[in-house]
Structure 1
Amino acid sequence: MLPDPLPLTRRVVTGHDGEGRSIIEHDGQSPALLTVEGRPGFRNHNIWRTLGADASAEAADTILDHRGVLPPPGGTVLRVIDFPPRPADLAERRRQAASSLETLFADAVHLSASEHPGMHRTRTVDYAIVLHGEITAILDAAETDLRAGDILIQRGTNHAWENQTNAMARVAFILVDAS
């Protein structure tokens, strides 16, 4: 049985009114909340993206147009992912990992089935910030447990994420294109 889901992520976006004063343009749930039918409890909240290295403070909100895991060329993407506890059964774990990778992250390089089922690689520098719970970062030759407040810098390496606890975990990811 899955633990209760975490509250939805609140996204607050600022901007300017017609007179140039700072205002709140959006305050509420991200319009780009994605789930995976084959992985109960897994939620991907796409929050914001920039379209290039010269990000504009006046750029429109284009997060609804975002597809896949990778940021736009030269750009960034901010997402928050809720990770349910891993299934105890290895076959089910593989099925759920494959389902989420195929459904949401088809543009990542997926590694052999002999590796961890969620193992993938992106040409990005990622800032992974644990917001709630605990998550294990799995690499080719190492793994480390991360807790709320910990930050991992992922630099284009093979990696996977696994919640090895009985509670939900939430991680914010900022992906910066490094191609």
Structure 2
Amino acid sequence: MGVRRVVTGHNNEGNAIFASDEIVEPTTLSLLPGAEFFQLWGADEIPTFPDAGSCPPHTTYFPPLGGYRFGIFTVQPDTEASMMPENFDIEAAIMEVEEKLPGMAEHLETDNPGMHTTDTVDYEFVISGEVVLELDEGAEVTLKAGDTVVQNGTRHAWRNRTNEPAVLVVVLIGAKRDT
């Protein structure tokens, strides 16, 4: 399922226009069966108005300091996410992650699947389903449709202990860590 992205801009006279209207298809990964990552918008620097309607260039999944990302991701039920085929090639799957979502793999903890830490402030909004946000030392909160969270560079993982996918809208902003 694609997501429609409508982008506004300005014409040569400075009037507001619809600069683009297109369907964005999700990125999928064999390492995360059923998960979908919709990379809707982002840049690696302070925002400018891209009046042509094209997404500003960005090189990594997580933004650098001053960069930002806007997207949607689906968290599959833990039972489905953990079902890897018997002959699953983990090295090939990690290479696929790096190819499709550059920079993501380096943030994932290999000894604790799903756990990761990024230098970002993240705004997440659950639009459907239910998901558990797990922090250090097992601290958890269950989030349902309509709930939001502001994530401030903390170590975390998303868990889905239900039988239905959870869908989150996310905005990631590259930030400077205090320590």
Q: TM-score range by the shorter chain?
A: 0.7 to 0.9
- 5+ unaligned residues in a row in structure 2: which ranges? none
The two structures have a TM-score, normalised by structure 1, of 0.78
Q: Is 1:163 aligned to 2:160, yes or no?
A: yes
| Residues 106 and 112 (structure 1), Cα distance of their counterparts in 2 relative to 1, 3 Å cut | closer
Number of equivalent positions: 166
The aligned counterpart of 1:74 is 66
Q: Give 1:106 deviation, angstroms.
A: 1.9
Cα gap change, 1:112 to 1:140, in 2 (>3 Å): farther
Query: Alpha-carbon deviation of 1:91?
Result: 7.3
Find out whether 1:49 has 2:56 as its counterpart.
no
Taking only aligned residues, the RMSD between alpha carbons, in angstroms, comes to 3.0
Normalised to the residue count of structure 2, the TM-score between the two structures is 0.78
Could you tell me which of 4, 10, 27 is aligned with 1:10?
Answer: 4
**Alpha-carbon spacing, 1:9–1:91, altered in 2? closer, same or farther (3 Å):** closer
Q: Aligned partner of 1:43: which letter?
A: E
Counting aligned pairs with the same residue, the percent is 35
Deviations 1:30-68 (A, max 9, x none): 26x311134332110001113323x212366345x5444
- For 2:122 and 2:51, how far apart are their aligned partners in 1? 22
| Runs of at least 5 residues in structure 1 that lack an aligned partner in the other structure | 1-6
Q: Secondary structure at the match of 1:42?
A: strand
Task: Give the alignment of 1:1-179 within 5 angstroms.
Answer: 7-30=1-24, 33-53=26-46, 55-58=47-50, 61-62=54-55, 65-87=57-79, 92=84, 99=93, 103=97, 104=101, 105-108=104-107, 110-111=108-109, 113=111, 115=112, 117-141=113-137, 142-179=139-176
User: Which region of structure 1 is more displaced relative to structure 2, 83-92 or 148-157?
Assistant: 83-92
TM superposition shift of 1:82: 1.5
